Amino acid sequence: MTRGYLQVHWSAMAKTASRKPQRGELTREMVVSAALACLDRSGLEGFSLREVARSIGVFPTALRWHVPGGRNGLLAEVASLVMAEVTPDRDAAADWRAWLEALFFRYRAAMQRHPNAASLLGAQLVSNGGVPMALVDGVLTALEAAGYREGALRDGYNAVIAAMVGFVTLELAPEPAEDQAGWADALRSRVANTVSDETRYPALARNARWLSGSAFVLRWENGRSAPLESGFRLYVAAFLAGLAAKL
Amino acid sequence: MTRGYLQVHWSAMAKTASRKPQRGELTREMVVSAALACLDRSGLEGFSLREVARSIGVFPTALRWHVPGGRNGLLAEVASLVMAEVTPDRDAAADWRAWLEALFFRYRAAMQRHPNAASLLGAQLVSNGGVPMALVDGVLTALEAAGYREGALRDGYNAVIAAMVGFVTLELAPEPAEDQAGWADALRSRVANTVSDETRYPALARNARWLSGSAFVLRWENGRSAPLESGFRLYVAAFLAGLAAKL
DNA sequence: ACCTGAACACCGTTCAAGT
DNA sequence: ACCTGAACACCGTTCAAGT
């Protein structure tokens, strides 16, 4: 989406595939992993089929043969790939709460490995196809063990999936691609000003020390460089405690 | 993002501004509200400066004079506009839990009025500037009333903001713009197949009745046409109960 | 079956020029 | 001060053609 004022040189191109594949050598897995590399490199906004193709050394239209569905179809495949190792083992299900807790932390760890995939999973219904059914079944099993049934089970399930995705999506929300430093500076001073306004925002002013730079809305880096670890732990603990109590 | 195979006719153009503004009549508010209309109509992917300009009857480059920052800058303004009436009144803060509950429900209501703004608020660090500081201060006040202090206050605040945004972002996650009907059909039958696989996904199969079409990953409509009301209620109740208990 | 190559209808942004 | 107008470097997708 950032176009026109940024010429991408050939020299900056991806070296994902070190050599151009021969005819018939290009596989679906190659395309998807090159796409993940492109996402890691350029973010969701910057992600383009043409760049993926360029990184493999092939024409844009060649991708379509291996991965139908165009840009969104390819991103859905990438989502699957990132989600592949999130689901905890079955045997951890002896304790339903521990299993769900493991799920939350594993989801976050996966997104930390591929920060730009967070908005993909958190904000695109299309890529929800990327969520493994084993994960779905695991959540349901855990909630049944907790005592949830029928309509309440569905509600609990929806709450769990949303909770899993929610914090991390916001934590890793992408910064603007262009002029990152200038944007950060502008935001930092804006926060500094707001935080010192004791009459309008007293609670904010009282707690500025603890908040500036490490709280949503009041930060100028995303969760990649400034993780909100302890906030996430409280979030998970509170949610799980509430889930146990609400039955 | 959906380009090339969909010609947008002049006749389908926005009627936001019924007549072309005279020179000097174009205001910042006009641009931002036209942009919101464009977002409502075309979604975040389809949102384009050129369409906004077209809907006002002005050249794309004219927008820049009133709203600097290009596409992302304009979207940040739109985010502010949508968030403007979310923050509950101060006097509801007698009960901190009721205030936070009101906040959650008001946020969801605002996003239901503008479903395509949900991914904007939930997944873009840029648009976090759109969150009113009164909201921030209100959350802090509520958490102080609950007994949260210092580092724990910051963690609680982060948890609250994430919880506010999390469910709704996923609930209203956009469907693919192109071929919506075909996509929904494909997904529906995919869900039907998965749900009947009793050996691989027993918990899923047991509860298929309650889940198909109204649970994350297992649905083919977004929250605009198929809201997940009761799931949201449980989510909020569980989170708030946990927040109270974790101190 | 698998990929090239050209064409099409879009983008956001930049810069010079008009009033 | 406010906007037009042309140009530039990108997009995703479609379709015909090659091997």
- The secondary structure of chain B as a DSSP string is ---SS-PPPGGGS--SSSSPPPTTT--HHHHHHHHHHHHHHHHHHH--HHHHHHHHTS-HHHHHHHS-SHHHHHHHHHHHHHHTTTSPPGGGGGSHHHHHHHHHHHHHHHHHHSGGGHHHHHH-GGGGGGS-HHHHHHHHHHHHHHT--HHHHHHHHHHHHHHHHHHHHHHTPPPPSSSHHHHHHHHHHHHHHHHT-TTT-HHHHHTHHHHTTSSTTS-SS-TTTS--HHHHHHHHHHHHHHHHHT-
Query: Tell me, what's the pLDDT at A180?
Result: 83
CB pairs under 8 A between A and B: 270
Cβ neighbours of A194 in B, within 8 Å: 133
Query: Tell me, what's the pLDDT at A5?
Result: 42
Give the angle A146-A150-A156 at the CA atoms, nearest 5°.
Answer: 50
Query: Tell me, what's the pLDDT at A4?
Result: 40
Query: Tell me, what's the pLDDT at B24?
Result: 74
pLDDT, tens digit, for every residue of B118-168? 999 998 877 788 999 999 999 999 999 999 999 999 999 999 999 999 999
Using CB atoms, pick whichever of B1, B128, B194 lies closest to residue A217. B128
Say if residue B8's pLDDT is above 80: no
Q: A174 and B207: CB-CB below 8 Å?
A: no
Query: Tell me, what's the pLDDT at A23?
Result: 76
Mutation target among B111, B149, B234 for the A interface, most CBs of A within 10 A? B234
Average pLDDT over residues B67-78: 94
- pTM (2 decimals)? 0.94
Using CB atoms, pick whichever of A138, A165, A200 lies closest to residue B166. A165
Taking the C1' atom of every nucleotide in all shown strands and the CA of A7, the nearest one is D9
Number of Cβ within a 10 Å radius of residue B110 = 18
**Would you say the C-beta of A3 is within 7 Å of strand D?**
yes
Query: Tell me, what's the pLDDT at A242?
Result: 98
Nearest CA in chain A to B128: A217
Nearest CA in chain B to A184: B126
Query: Tell me, what's the pLDDT at A22?
Result: 76
Instruction: Using 70 as the pLDDT threshold, list the residues of chain A that sit under it.
Output: 1-19, 92-93
Query: Tell me, what's the pLDDT at A182?
Result: 85
Query: Tell me, what's the pLDDT at B93?
Result: 60
Taking the C1' atom of every nucleotide in all shown strands and the CA of A5, the nearest one is C13
Q: A214 and B154: CB-CB below 8 Å?
A: yes
Query: Tell me, what's the pLDDT at B2?
Result: 47
pLDDT, tens digit, for every residue of A90-105? 876 589 999 999 999 9
Say if residue B15's pLDDT is above 60: no
Query: Tell me, what's the pLDDT at B169?
Result: 97
Query: Tell me, what's the pLDDT at A92?
Result: 62
Query: Tell me, what's the pLDDT at B92?
Result: 61
Mutation target among A6, A144, A155 for the B interface, most CBs of B within 10 A? A155
**C-beta of residue A166 within 8 angstroms of C-beta of residue B170:** yes
